């Protein structure tokens, strides 16, 4: 049975986005959205018949050319020229999963009826989405201010039969795909090119994609951290509820509660401890992991607002008979949030690597480098090097992009957000975190074997059993690259309940 999501003015959430993407919903416009789009387009057409004064982006040039008046007979050509001239992205291709989110969020933004696009334009974007026709979009080219101009130009070029797409499993000219489906290129009307190119859908799609992974890996950081705590023979005391009630940050409280749940029934955590205190990378897990959770919650709020917004320019208000040029395309809210998110994810990796380091240090009756017969075997000596290298790269990537700006468009666009750069490097930080946590899991699962015959909790033992089916215990030196890759694949394959993502 086909599952359809109807685009409407109903509030769109990250959880709904995840459901639509993961369950392969198709899209359709609600009747409300159709009416809003057509009403706005009709209003704009009537306005252009009677209005001779310049209206930015509708009958003028763009950027610093805003004072150049364009005659009515050239308005369609103006929009097509805009699309072509702005398609100057370069660098790596945007991942297909993110391109699909870009299509969805662009459709959503245009559906409110404040952008002046034709109904046919939005319906063609829906055709692309539903048929997995994914435009080739590049990661470099957006300043994150006048909208994500270059990436969105590449996203929307196929509407006019230009550019390239992935369809039927390979990359091909967009025009060829249009012809195969019996579709004619869209003839852009006044304002449409600008409506398509202005907007924050590159930044916001990256942010949504990263947030979904961040929620998952925030949870897995707790699970893997709990296994490390068991392997290190750590204490449960720092997770006592009363400690966190007197410093009641939400993330801190939730992290401590989760650790108590994860470790419930563990023989290892319950046994008497010789040591009085653990290092900060264990003792301060609630405070550090919790702060990252609170950051993720904040960023989710920012992106929830954004994906329910109109972000092109100018905005059309039919009821008020107004066309107003403003700056809703400016990505500053997203740039700051993405930088904050990148820092929070980098810190999850930072403390993870420190736990890995403690586990290989020959402390607490663990053998040096977590292997029998150390010396002949180097064991887990070098995976920590790898984790340390990745953690340091994340520190470098976590330098905020949003504190930067550069003048463009002949001085007209004199402050930009750099949100697109914040987005692409935040994704790199997220991918690095996956690798760092995979290396910690390798070490933690090895360490816990030296606590046998004592058992951990039922949940953690089940988790470790599943992991061991993919990555066997290291008894003597072998090529650990393959273990790292298998560990990453194991974590990526895990499907979590939706409440974990909330």
State the Cα–Cα distance between residues 333 and 308, nearest whole angstrom. Answer: 14
State the Cα–Cα distance between residues 204 and 282, nearest whole angstrom. Answer: 34
Which pLDDT score, from 0 to 100, does residue 58 have? 72
State the Cα–Cα distance between residues 397 and 399, nearest whole angstrom. Answer: 5
Cβ count within 10 A of residue 322: 10
Token readout for 395 is 């520190």
Q: Give me the catalytic one of 56, 112, 129, 209.
A: 56
State the Cα–Cα distance between residues 218 and 258, nearest whole angstrom. Answer: 12
Beta-bridge mates of residue 6: 28
State the Cα–Cα distance between residues 464 and 228, nearest whole angstrom. Answer: 12
Per-residue tens of pLDDT for the chain, all 502 residues: 569 999 999 999 999 999 999 999 999 999 999 999 999 999 998 888 777 677 766 766 555 555 566 566 677 788 888 899 999 999 999 999 999 999 999 999 999 999 999 999 999 999 999 999 999 999 999 999 988 999 999 999 999 999 999 999 999 999 999 999 999 999 999 889 989 999 999 999 999 999 999 999 999 999 999 999 999 999 999 999 999 999 999 999 999 999 999 999 999 999 999 999 999 999 999 999 999 999 999 999 999 999 999 999 899 999 999 999 899 999 999 999 999 999 999 999 999 999 999 999 999 999 999 998 888 999 999 999 999 999 999 999 999 999 998 888 887 888 999 999 999 999 999 999 999 999 999 999 999 999 999 999 999 999 999 999 999 999 999 999 999 999 999 999 998 887 666 6
Cα first-last separation, the chain = 27
Q: Which residues of 162-177 are buried (b: 16+ CB within 10 A; e: fewer)?
A: bbbbbbeeeebebbeb
Beta-bridge mates of residue 324: 315
pTM for the whole structure? 0.95
Q: 4-198 and 206-311+340-501 share one CATH topology?
A: no
Which pLDDT score, from 0 to 100, does residue 374 have? 84
Which pLDDT score, from 0 to 100, does residue 49 have? 79
Token readout for 257 is 């509660």
Query: With contact defined as beta carbons under 8 Å apart, do 306 and 268 qualify?
Result: no
Cβ count within 10 A of residue 403: 10
Domain range annotation of the chain: 4-198, 206-311+340-501
CATH fold label, 206-311+340-501: Fumarase C; Chain A, domain 2 (1.20.200)
CATH fold label, 4-198: Fumarase C; Chain B, domain 1 (1.10.275)
What is the CB-side half-sphere exposure of residue 453 using CA atoms within 13 A? 0
For residue 217, the surrounding DSSP H or E stretch is helix 201-231
Cα 246 to the center of its chain, rounded Å: 33
Per 3-state DSSP, the chain is made up of helix, strand and coil in percentages (nearest 5) of: 60, 10, 35
Which pLDDT score, from 0 to 100, does residue 215 have? 96
Cβ count within 10 A of residue 185: 16
Cβ count within 10 A of residue 254: 18
Q: Which residues of 421-454 are buried (b: 16+ CB within 10 A; e: fewer)?
A: bbbbbbbebbebbbbbbbbbbbbbbbbbeebeee
Q: Which DSSP string corresponds to 57-123?
A: TTSB-SGGGTT-B--GGGHHHHHHHHHHHH---EEEEPPHHHHHHHHHHHHHHHTTS-S---HHHHH
Q: Is residue 56 flagged as an active site residue?
A: yes
Q: In whole angstroms, how large is the CA radius of gyration of the chain?
A: 26
Angle between helices 332-359 and 381-397 (to 10 degrees): 160
CA dihedral 4, 6, 7, 11 (to 10 degrees): -100
State the Cα–Cα distance between residues 38 and 76, nearest whole angstrom. Answer: 18
């Amino acid at each position: 049975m086909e599952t359809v999501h109807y685009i409407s003015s109903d509030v769109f959430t990250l959880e709904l986005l995840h459901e639509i993407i993961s369950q392969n919903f198709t899209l359709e416009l609600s009747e409300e959205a159709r009416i809003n789009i057509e009403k706005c387009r009709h209003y704009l057409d009537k306005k252009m018949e009677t209005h001779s004064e310049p209206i930015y982006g509708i009958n003028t040039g763009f950027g610093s050319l805003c004072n150049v008046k364009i005659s009515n007979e050239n308005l369609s050509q103006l929009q097509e020229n805009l699309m072509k001239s702005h398609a100057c992205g370069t660098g790596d291709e945007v991942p297909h999963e993110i391109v699909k989110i870009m299509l969805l969020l662009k459709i959503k933004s245009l559906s409110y009826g404040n952008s002046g696009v034709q109904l046919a334009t939005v319906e063609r974007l829906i055709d692309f989405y539903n048929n997995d026709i994914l435009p080739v979009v590049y990661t470099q080219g957006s300043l994150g201010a006048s909208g994500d101009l270059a990436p969105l130009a590449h996203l929307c070029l196929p509407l006019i039969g230009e550019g390239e797409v992935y369809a039927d499993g390979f990359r091909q000219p967009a025009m060829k795909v249009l012809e195969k489906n019996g579709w004619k290129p869209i003839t852009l009307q006044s304002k449409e090119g600008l409506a398509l190119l202005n907007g924050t859908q590159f930044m916001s799609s990256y942010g949504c994609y990263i947030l979904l992974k961040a929620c998952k890996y925030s949870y897995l950081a707790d699970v893997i951290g709990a296994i490390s705590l068991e392997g290190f023979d750590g204490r449960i005391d720092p997770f006592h509820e009363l400690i966190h009630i007197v410093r009641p940050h939400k993330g801190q409280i939730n992290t401590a509660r989760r650790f108590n749940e994860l470790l419930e029934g563990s023989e290892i955590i319950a046994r008497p401890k010789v040591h009085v205190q653990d290092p900060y990378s264990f003792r301060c897990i609630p405070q550090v992991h919790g702060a990252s959770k609170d950051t993720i919650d904040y960023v989710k709020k920012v992106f929830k607002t954004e994906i329910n917004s109109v972000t092109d320019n100018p905005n059309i208000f039919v009821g008020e008979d107004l066309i107003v040029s403003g700056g809703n395309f400016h990505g500053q809210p997203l740039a700051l949030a993405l930088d904050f998110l990148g820092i929070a994810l980098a810190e999850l990796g930072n403390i993870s690597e420190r736990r890995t380091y403690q586990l290989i240090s020959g402390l607490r009756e663990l053998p040096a480098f977590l292997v029998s017969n150390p010396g002949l075997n180097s064991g887990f000596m070098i995976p920590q090097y790898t984790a340390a290298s990745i953690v340091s790269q994340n520190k470098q990537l976590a330098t905020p992009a949003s504190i930067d700006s550069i003048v463009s468009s002949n001085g007209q666009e004199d402050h930009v957000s750099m949100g697109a750069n914040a987005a692409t490097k935040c994704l790199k930080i997220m991918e690095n975190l996956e690798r760092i946590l995979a290396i910690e899991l390798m070490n933690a699962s090895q360490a816990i074997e030296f606590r046998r015959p004592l058992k951990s909790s039922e949940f953690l033992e089940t988790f470790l059993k599943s992991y061991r089916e993919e990555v066997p215990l290291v008894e003597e030196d072998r090529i650990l690259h393959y273990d790292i890759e298998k560990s990453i694949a194991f974590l990526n394959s895990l499907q979590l309940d939706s409440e974990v993502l909330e």
